[in-house]
Amino acid sequence: MLAYIKLEAVRQTLAQTRLRKLLIANVAVSLSMAMALSVQAQTPPRVVPPEPEVPPEPAPEAPASPEDVLPDTSTDTEKPSPLPDEILETEITVTELRFDGNSILDDTALQQAIEVAIDQNFTNLDEDDFACEAPSETTPWLPTQQTISQLLQFAEVVAACYKSEGYTTSGAVVQVPEDTKSGIGPINVLVIEGELETIDLAFIDEDEGEFVDVTGTQRLNDGYVRSRLGATPGEPLNVTQLQENLQLLQIDPLIQRVRADLNAGSDPGDSRLEVKVQEAPSLSASVALDNSRPPSVGTTQRQAFVREGNLFGIGDALSLGITNSEGSNAISVDYSIPINANNGRLSLSFDPTWNDIVDSDFFDINRDGDGPDIQSRAQLYELALRQPILRQVKGQTYQEFTLGLSGTLRNSRSFLLEDPFPLSAGASVDGKTRTVALRFSQDYTRRDGQQIFSASSQFNLGLGILNATVNNSVDDVGAVPDSRFFSWQGQLQWTKVLAPQTLLLLRSNIQLADQVLLSAEQFSLGGGNSVRGYRQDQLITDNGVFASAEMRVPIARMPESDALLQVTPFLDFGTGWNSSGQSNPDDNTLASFGLGLQLTQGKRNELTARLDWGIPLISVDSEGDTWQENGVYFSIVYRPL
């Protein structure tokens, strides 16, 4: 609120007469520009692995097939010698079906499946859509006359029921009680639910082209793998679910490869599972150089990032990152730990930032030869829970739906001539803002060998607790931003393979807010990762929409160095507007088109270099002469690990 204080109140906070005169001449005339620069300085992007874009190769990648992780080792079992025809043709009036040994499927479901099979003369057993479901209403078994040959097919129906549910090692035996051999009476169906007898887990590694057993020396705890198999010794074995769980393990970043074999156990129907796992390298590191920072803090940015994905052997991850430009420094520390076998994770992060305005017009406001004169400091704390609700592999298509809940606390403070001063809307008289928010996210991803589709949604609820910034409306000004707000953010991205190493990328972002927002919560447009052709954070508003279309077309392949050069034509658009009746910027819509070059090198894209040139379609006021203000953006990312 005090960002709107009168100039006389500003004067009263200054100690020196000379400084007062300088501020009248410089700060008062350009205060709005300084506030805009301070907003940019206080909202640096979160330090993340320097991989701002989807890697071009591998393009959308399909999960391993079920046969790759668990080969079909089943063989046709030797069938007993057929009974004499006179016995097979013997007819029995079945008055009742008695099931025993079934725990997965109940009696009513099995009985109905047999009734349907009888009606269809047992021709439906090999159908792919064969299903065995319990009827909505239980009907009694009506006495029916069947031959011994048909009774034996009752067991095939039960086996088909279990197979349709994934229990391919289960079966059944039909027994004719002594009393029924007279020609009428009940029939017993003994269900044999194939159980998992043991799990033999071994870790392997490659040594001079051969795999050797390294069990006992691996870093990954074997409980991490066992819990994700979804199979327990002594319980019925769902082979289909086991195959899917093995496919999910194969795409786990901590697993290089997994291979399983299912062998016969000591009892009929029982199985022994042998699993061999090769660990993937869990340590990754990257460095990057780009010009994606606002001109107010220096456009050229350097980044370094290191991540250990298996710190204590339980799949917990520690990430450390640092980013630096001429006038900004930021550190990111993040620790996450798995809380269940379905990839639920709990994470804690801390991101401090330091920003100095190095823009020549504001670097030395009081002309004393010493700067910077405008500074800001911020700290972000976050506790987050992320839980996949759906993780599914069907064939070679993977999809995941995840819910997330996080709490964030962000402190920031701005300084003018080393004195605390409110340079952003909503700040207190000493330049402080504190935002406390709960954030509820929903993320969906679907990918196969030809495309990746992702959709993200996040609801943000700002709270006026824990001494958060709370302001009242000001006469003649209107609503003043504070920690109490509600906003929604959405994101869509679709990557499609059009031809080998030729991709189409479509992406869109949107933010809607119910009121005017503090600077850290606002929507920004412009820059190398937004509307190219304009400087970073050219437009900052409460609400906004962004859309982009891009092609990646190979123009040169260099197999000897595993290098690929692609041309990347693109088209970007964005518009923003403010809430609570606040006026919109004069230039609130940005649009551009352009062309880029991207070079990737290495089997894992160890080196990625990109150069983009964006041409604005809508002119805006811009007095700077940096590369990005002339529409040119570059990025170089190197991943040694």
Q: What is the rounded distance in angstroms from the CA atom of residue 145 to the CA atom of residue 140? A: 16
Lowest mean pLDDT among 56-65, 224-233, 278-287, 580-589: 56-65
Report whether pLDDT(481) > 50. yes
What are the residue boundaries of the structural domains of the chain, listed by start? 1-51+333-463+484-517, 53-74+84-282, 522-641
Higher pLDDT, 19 or 283: 283
8 Å CB contact between 518 and 433: yes
| Average pLDDT estimate for 257-275 | 93
Nearest to 246 by CA among 208, 273, 268, 283: 273
User: Do 515 and 479 contact (CB within 8 A), yes or no?
Assistant: yes
- Checking if the pLDDT of 305 tops 80, the result is yes
Query: In the prediction, which pLDDT does 166 show?
Result: 92
Whether the pLDDT of residue 366 is over 70: the answer is yes
Non-local (6+) Cβ contacts of 257 within 8 A are: 250, 277, 278
Q: Distances in Å between the alpha carbon of 149 and those of 79, 86, 156, 438?
A: 14, 10, 11, 66
What CATH number labels 53-74+84-282? 3.10.20.310
**DSSP strand E in 105-220: where?**
144-147, 171-175, 184-192, 196-207, 210-213
- pLDDT the model gives residue 17: 38
pLDDT at 13: 39
Highest mean pLDDT among 40-49, 473-482, 551-560, 618-627: 551-560
Instruction: Please say whether the beta carbons of 216 and 200 come within 8 A.
Output: no
Query: Kindly report the CA angle at 223 between 217 and 226, in degrees rounded to 5?
Result: 115
Which residue from 552, 584, 558, 572 is spatially nearest to 617, judged by alpha carbons? 572
H-run or E-run covering 436:
strand 432-447
Identity at 268, one-letter amino acid code: P
- Specify the range with the lowest mean pLDDT, choosing from 14-28, 539-553, 563-577: 14-28
Full-model pTM: 0.86
Query: In 49-95, where does DSSP find H-type helix?
Result: 66-69, 85-88
**Cβ-contact 107, 98 below 8 angstroms:** no
The candidate with the shortest Cα–Cα distance to 572, out of 531, 620, 611, is 531
- For residues 258 and 275, the answer to whether their CB atoms sit within 8 Å is yes
Give the number of other CB atoms < 10 A from CB of residue 556.
Answer: 10
Mean pLDDT, all residues of the chain: 88
pLDDT tens column, 142-164: 899 999 999 999 999 999 999 99
Q: Are 406 and 438 in contact (CB under 8 A)?
A: yes
How far is 564 from 599, CA to CA, in rounded Å? 6
- Binning pLDDT at 50, 70 and 90, where does residue 74 land? low
Does the structure show a pLDDT above 70 at 23?
A: no
**408 has pLDDT over 50:** yes
pLDDT tens digits for 87-107? 788 899 999 999 999 999 999
Give the pair of three-digit tokens for residue 240: 């289909």
